[in-house]
Amino acid sequence: MGTGSAYAATPKDAKGQYLDGGKTYKVTLPAPIPANNFWSFMVYSGQHRSMLETDQKSAGLDSNNPAVKANNDESYTIWFGPKAPEGREGNWIQTIPGKSYLVILRLYGPLEPWFDKTWKPGDFELVN
């Protein structure tokens, strides 16, 4: 515990629908996030299963990035969509309209709440 990594992946939103690159979603990681080192989200193409290539030049983000900001309660809300929601650019991962994708949450140095399932990430919520 506190070393290695743990991954959770999903291609679907909270209602069981496949993630759509033309829509905007948000997901919240409740505090405290059980990662000894850091956490990250990576987006993979639903067509070829490699990292999604976008104009953003990054297929993800992580908690080491100073642009990523916590909410007032120390949780993190991350946005996925073709355009960044205003004021949330640092917590946004670009997707591509017409392209499906899946997301992997990685916890580096996962802690007990991950293993005993007392912590879980929020579901992907469709925003628009």
Q: What pLDDT sits at residue 53?
A: 84
Per-residue pLDDT of the chain (128 residues; tens, 9 = 90+): 678 999 999 999 999 999 999 999 999 999 999 999 999 999 998 888 788 888 887 889 999 999 999 999 999 999 999 999 999 999 999 999 999 999 999 999 999 999 999 999 999 999 99
Q: What pLDDT sits at residue 20?
A: 96
What is the DSSP secondary-structure string of the chain?
Answer: --SSEEEEEESB-TTSPBPBTTS-EEEEEPSSP-EEEEEEEEEEETTTSSBPP-TTS-SEEETT-TT----TTS-EEEEEESSPPTT-GGGEEE--TT-BEEEEEEEEEE-HHHHTTS--PPPPEE--
Q: What pLDDT sits at residue 27?
A: 98
Structural domains in the chain, CATH included, are 5-126 (2.60.120.600)
